[in-house]
Amino acid sequence: MMTLALDGPRRASRQLHPALVPGLFFAFVLVLILLRLGRVVELAYPVGAVLVGLMCYRRNPAEYVSFMCWLYFLSPEVRRIADFFNGAYNPISPIQMAPVLVAILSGLTVLTHYRVVATKRAFPSLLIVLAMTYALVVGCIRNSVPSALFSFGYAIIPVFVGFHVLATWKHFPVYSRVLVSTFSWGMFVIGIYGVIQYVLMPPWDAMWMLKSGIGSVGEPLPFSFRVFSTLNSPGPLATVLMGGLLFMLAGRGKVVWVGAVSGLVVLLLTAVRSAWGGLIIGGIYALACIDARTRARVILAILIVSALSVPMFAVEEFAKPVLDRMESVTSIKDDRSFQIRMRFYESFLAVATSDIAGQGMGAVGIGTKLDSATSQLGKFGVFDSGLMEIPFVMGWPGTLLYLTGLLWMIGRAMKRGLAMKSNRLLAAAVGTAIALVSMLVFSNTLNAFDGILFQLGVTLPVIGHRYARMLAASGGATP
């Protein structure tokens, strides 16, 4: 078994706090918004984000990943506040492109570290890329080139981020420190704002609910909706909170405690049962994979966080929606959404598995809008099963390549994590990946930021183990 210190190189002490650069960037944007320069923000925000992203990318690979995470955390809220102060809702806001554009920068690592592509540690990623490329070709033929290219880019970005982390493995101590800090502060901000949103319903969030057509989450009134905090809807928020809470198992300090309590409360208020289950699955795995002494401390911390969350639910407005949702789990067979999902699986299973070639990229999701003259979602624009989406889009050849790469990544991450049982971050990372895979039953959790979380989960144990071996070889650690 290997142990590994997370202190990093001496020069790490001169590095900026992970929240400083994002904080300055968002503070500058907020000033522009308050000056009623909403239209300027729509253009300046994505351009500024890319420039700051490039600066972080050149300065330190871990700080770049941190800034990218912050953009995914906060960009939807920036968009809503900008629209509100601008006095008009923009259905196609360039602000939403900022996280994607910055994440695309990770593709530069493929060019600067091209030799890593041919190594064994990058082989699972290569299999996944080959599967996506096959689906891209099929999609260009069966759907349209724009929709296929859009869906391909949407799917491959997480793989680029994973490769970026894999290729910059020597920065593992900095990744450990920066990512734990990023998720700790991120959950602090998202959790606190989520509680404020639920109690007060800020006017910009109310305007978003009315104009965007997400009335299914409730009414734009205090205590009358499923919380979405700084993200676009309860679903993405719940996944971010689930992953963030698991990563915070490796954190310490007051920010971690406040972030964990508020994050747990808001996760329950999203009423997303798949994320609740994912948190339980990921947490059980993480606890099972750390040594007994560390496990006892983590369990104690979980109990304290749970106890601190209880007083919030003494208020009926907090308790009732959560208890109602929990009750639906105990009577799952009578639950309407469960019945709809079961009918979908029964009717679509044969369709998804009988098409040998697959429908290709652009057949499902947001990309179907590019096949419509009215920019409306296509027949499979909303697809409620990641398990069915993979064979439906990729066919048999692509599914074989994709699942081989996916299972390879998970198995390798579990093996590397078990070799370093005293490292809570690695156990939490693998737990996050396993949680996301378990949630494929409900949606595709391997694309967008969900996919980035998965790639971080399966890649951190690999680079951590490699870094530990390097230290052991140089006498810096004892295997």
Average pLDDT for residues 411-433, to the nearest whole number?
92
| DSSP reduced 3-state for 225 | strand
Do 361 and 438 have their domain in common?
Answer: yes
Reported as a pLDDT band with limits 50, 70 and 90, residue 334 is low
| CA triple 89-452-132, angle to 5 deg | 100
Is position 9 within any domain?
A: no
Do 100 and 203 have their domain in common?
Answer: no
Using the 3D structure, point to which of 112, 127, 152 is the last residue of a domain.
112
Reported as a pLDDT band with limits 50, 70 and 90, residue 350 is confident
Q: How many domains does the chain have?
A: 2
Q: How many CB atoms lie within 10 A of CB 439?
A: 24
Do 101 and 117 have their domain in common?
Answer: no
Using the 3D structure, point to which of 83, 112, 141 is the last residue of a domain.
112
Do 137 and 204 have their domain in common?
Answer: yes
Do 214 and 252 have their domain in common?
Answer: yes
Using the 3D structure, point to which of 97, 112, 127 is the last residue of a domain.
112
Task: List the helix and strand counts (H, then E) for the chain.
Answer: 19, 0
pLDDT tens-digit map of 234-260: 999 999 999 999 999 988 888 999 999
Do 100 and 239 have their domain in common?
Answer: no
CA–CA dist 19, 24 (Å, integer): 9
Is position 124 within any domain?
A: yes
Per-residue model confidence (pLDDT) at position 410: 96
pLDDT tens-digit map of 47-97: 999 999 999 999 899 999 999 999 999 999 999 999 998 888 888 889 999
Is position 96 within any domain?
A: yes
Per-residue model confidence (pLDDT) at position 355: 82
**117-131, 253-267, 291-305, 465-479: lowest mean pLDDT where?**
465-479
Kindly tell me if the per-residue pLDDT of 351 is higher than 80: no
Do 49 and 173 have their domain in common?
Answer: no
Do 145 and 104 have their domain in common?
Answer: no
Reported as a pLDDT band with limits 50, 70 and 90, residue 116 is very high
Kindly tell me if the per-residue pLDDT of 420 is higher than 80: yes
Judge whether 432 and 450 are in contact, CB under 8 Å: no
Is position 7 within any domain?
A: no
Do 184 and 274 have their domain in common?
Answer: yes
Is position 280 within any domain?
A: yes
Average pLDDT for residues 132-150, to the nearest whole number?
92
Is position 36 within any domain?
A: yes
Is position 316 within any domain?
A: yes
Is position 6 within any domain?
A: no
* DSSP class per residue in 402-437: HHHHHHHHHHHHHHHHHTTTT-HHHHHHHHHHHHHH
Do 91 and 149 have their domain in common?
Answer: no
CA–CA dist 260, 445 (Å, integer): 22
Do 385 and 431 have their domain in common?
Answer: yes
User: What domain range includes position 106?
Assistant: 14-112
> Structure pTM?
0.91
